[in-house]
Structure 1
Amino acid sequence: MTQHFSKRPADAPLSERNPRVVSAVKLHRGAQRRKTGLFLAEGSNSVAAALDTGRVEELFFSGRAAEREHELVASAAASGVRTTLVNDRAAEQLGETVTPPGLVAVCRQVDVPLGQVLRSELSAGSDSGAGAEPRGGSGEHAGTAMAVTTQLESRSATVDHRHMALAGARLLAVPVEISDPGNAGTLIRVADAVGADGVVLAGDSVDPHNGKCVRACAGSLFHVPLARERDTDSVLTDLRTAGITILATTARGEVDLDDADEILRHPVAWLFGNEAHGLPPSVAAQADHRIRIPIHGRAESLNLAAAAAICLYASSRVQHRG
């Protein structure tokens, strides 16, 4: 495999004025990420996960990072990734944290069309998801989902949809209109930890390639299949067509989480509401069941990330117990 090295002397790293560095720094802006289909992954955890899935276009590193993460930089170069030494000022601009790690990768975006996540549910052993080759952006979601729906409907005369879902994915997290990048990243990390089969960001949600979200994921962004779909009703329709039981988390749900084991034995998609307002009543009403988390102390409620962790782990416990 051809290796791409920066042909500069070791004592002349790229500066913050270099065009490649300038272009990479622009990826801190959402508009530039949407335009290029690229984003930045900062720090060893995220960079290692990005390298493992083959999504890195270029790896920038400072002199201090080269000493600290020598093996990671060397393995990137050996795999054919362009590795580029930059000065401290460039490293500061490429990073977003108070103390930049000096290790930043330019990566191809990870989200896939909703239909691809649903197809992975219907095929045991599917190799789709975060590690797959990049597909088109969110503009293609509706068309792909329609194709999957048509495919499912054509099989409906002879195959039960719920049985098809049982052959593949059994657990999805569906945050609706999540706006805080830290919460989004934590939720994706939890989904990865429990072995969820995908995350679907429904409605007007935060960009998962936002730097704060990427850091909160701690590498999990590259492990879990992720879809974005602005039309929440379309997401619910496609989940239902795929035979997935839809669960809404609400404070006044008719089912207590402690009593939900029989429901959780089946393939489920958990709906989690916005941090400030929770799930819209119209969305919660479309769920198959509304689940409440029992609170035995005096806390009035739980934040989004805490509620998601409790519910997803409850599902994982039941499903892995068999």
Structure 2
Amino acid sequence: MTVEERPAERLTNPRADRVRKVASLAGRSARQRTGLFLAEGPQAVREALIAWLARHEVAPEASGLGPDVEAHRDLPLPDAVYFAPGVMARHGDLAALIERIHAVLFDPSRELPRSDRLFLREASEEVIAAMCDAVSPQGIVAVCRIPSASPGPELSGCHLTAALCRLQDPGNVGTVIRTADAAGADAVLLSQGTVDVWSPKVVRAAAGSHFHLPLVPAAALADELSALRAAGTQILAAAGEGAVPLAGGDLPLHRPTLWMFGNEGAGLDAQERALADHAVAVPLYGRAESLNVATAAAVCLYASAMAQRQMPGADR
């Protein structure tokens, strides 16, 4: 039986209470009150479904995340998925994932706790549009649980970490999260004053990476960095006027590294810079006055990622 053939009532009223509650998650107060956030579009929902299967499927390695389910305990999981007619026909991979989820949910030999069950429901295009924050909804949305901030992941064993210091643009923050994920970073730290990483604009810009690596609030950033330094991590601050150039080969980028990235307009303040071992400048070879912070983050994170992987015996 396919997803569309399952006997479930389609949601058709865009003014229904359930629809309004989902739509309210575009606002920060609703996210804080409920501990839920929106993941919109096929790419983000795909990663949410894979994360659920990694936690609940009998053979979690089939999900693509590998058999170490505990390693993903700090990642969000979906609570409900709503999809418009025809989405599954256009995205066969999503249909296959949902069929696997149905196999787990309706397995008579298993009894999932209520908190672990996933609500799946077809909805009209009008309902999906009413639920979504995006101007052009793509026919599918997931309501996901924000992971608890405590206990956080063990950061002392991280090879590569990004710290976002008071970044305010949702597109930049989502892009840095996506870049950190692509570069193989182990986690992203979030200082006080950074935009809410669970907002729809950040989640859309990250394109599913919220489900791949922990996003760790760092209320006391100085303490976090001090602990990392004591564990052997070097702290580098990306700064346009930094004294140490990224190019030139003098930085030991093969070492475990945390990169700090500052506010779009003001950069890193004096207190934040004082936390770093070096202030590092990305070279500007043209006439541009500076680099966008997300672009600078891509250059810095990949410089470390490539250096770490070029070391003899590297297993990353």
With normalisation by structure 2, the TM-score equals 0.79
Q: CA separation in 2, counterparts of 1:177 and 1:200?
A: 11
In structure 2, what is the equivalent of residue 65 of structure 1? Answer: 87
User: In the alignment, residue 152 of structure 2 is paired with which amino acid?
Assistant: Q
Alpha-carbon offset, residue 72 of structure 1:
1.4
- Whichever residue aligns with residue 46 of structure 1, its letter is A
Check if 1:88 corresponds to 2:88.
Answer: no
Contact 2:163–2:189 (8 Å) recurs in 1: yes
Residue matched to 1:278: 267
1:248 is paired with a residue of what secondary structure?
strand
- The correspondence of residues 208-287 of structure 1 with structure 2, limited to 5 A, is 208-260=197-249, 262-287=251-276
Unaligned runs of 5+ in 2: 53-76, 106-117, 312-316
In structure 1, the residue matched to 2:40 is: 42
Provide the C-alpha distance between the structure 1 equivalents of 2:214 and 2:26, rounded to a whole number of angstroms.
23
Q: Give the C-alpha shift of residue 68 in structure 1.
A: 2.0
Alignment partners' CA distance in 2, 1:194 and 1:247: 16
TM-superposed CA distance for 1:240, in Å, is 2.5
Larger CA deviation: 228-237 vs 215-224:
228-237
| Structure 2 partner of 1:109 | 146
| Correspondences of 1:129-208 after superposition (within 5 Å) | 168-208=157-197
User: Does the residue aligned with 1:41 lie in a helix, a strand or coil?
Assistant: strand
Residue of structure 2 in register with 1:321 after alignment = 310
Q: Report the counterpart of residue 16 of structure 1 in structure 2.
A: 14
* Contact residue 8 and residue 121 of structure 2 kept, 8 A: no
Q: CA deviation at 1:86?
A: 1.4
Q: 3-state DSSP class of the match of 2:204?
A: helix
* C-alpha displacement of 1:221: 1.2
Give me the whole-angstrom Cα distance separating, in 1, the residues matched to 2:251 and 2:296.
Answer: 20
- Inter-partner Cα distance in structure 1 for 2:93 and 2:293: 37
The worse-fitting range, judged by mean Cα deviation, of 74-83 and 289-298 is: 74-83
Contact kept? 2:161, 2:257, Cα under 8 Å: yes
In structure 1, how many angstroms separate the alpha carbons of the residues matched to 2:45 and 2:250?
A: 38
Distance 1:66 1:197 in 2: 32
Q: Secondary structure at the match of 2:20?
A: helix
State the 1:241 CA deviation.
Answer: 3.3
Counterpart CA distance in 2 for 1:49 and 1:111 is: 19
Whichever structure has more helix as a proportion of its residues is 1
CA positional deviation for 1:67: 3.2
Change (3 A) 1:288 1:177: same
The residue that corresponds to 2:23 in the other structure is 25
Q: Is the 8 A contact 2:89 2:95 kept in 1?
A: no
**More displaced stretch, 65-74 vs 100-109:** 65-74
Q: Matched residues in 1 for 2:16 and 2:96: separation? A: 23
Rounded to whole Å, the distance in 2 between the matches of 1:204 and 1:235 is: 16
Q: What is the identity, as a one-letter code, of the residue corresponding to 1:279?
A: L
1:208 positional shift: 0.9
TM-score, normalised by the number of residues in structure 1:
0.78
Contact preservation (8 Å) 1:169, 1:197: yes
Q: Structure 2: how far apart are the matches of 1:309 and 1:19?
A: 42
TM-superposition CA deviations, 1:86-135 (whole Å, max 9, x none): 1222111112222211100011114644x633x2x44xxxxxxxxxxxxx
Q: Which residue of 2 aligns with 1:75?
A: 97
Q: Which ranges of structure 1 fall in alignment gaps of 5 or more residues?
A: 123-167
SS in 1 for 2:89: helix
SS in 2 for 1:116: coil
Deviation at 1:222, TM superposition (A): 0.7
Matched residue pairs, number?
269
CA-based RMSD: 2.1
Q: 1:86 to 1:261 in 2, by over 3 A?
A: farther
Counterparts of 2:86 and 2:132, CA distance in 1: 14
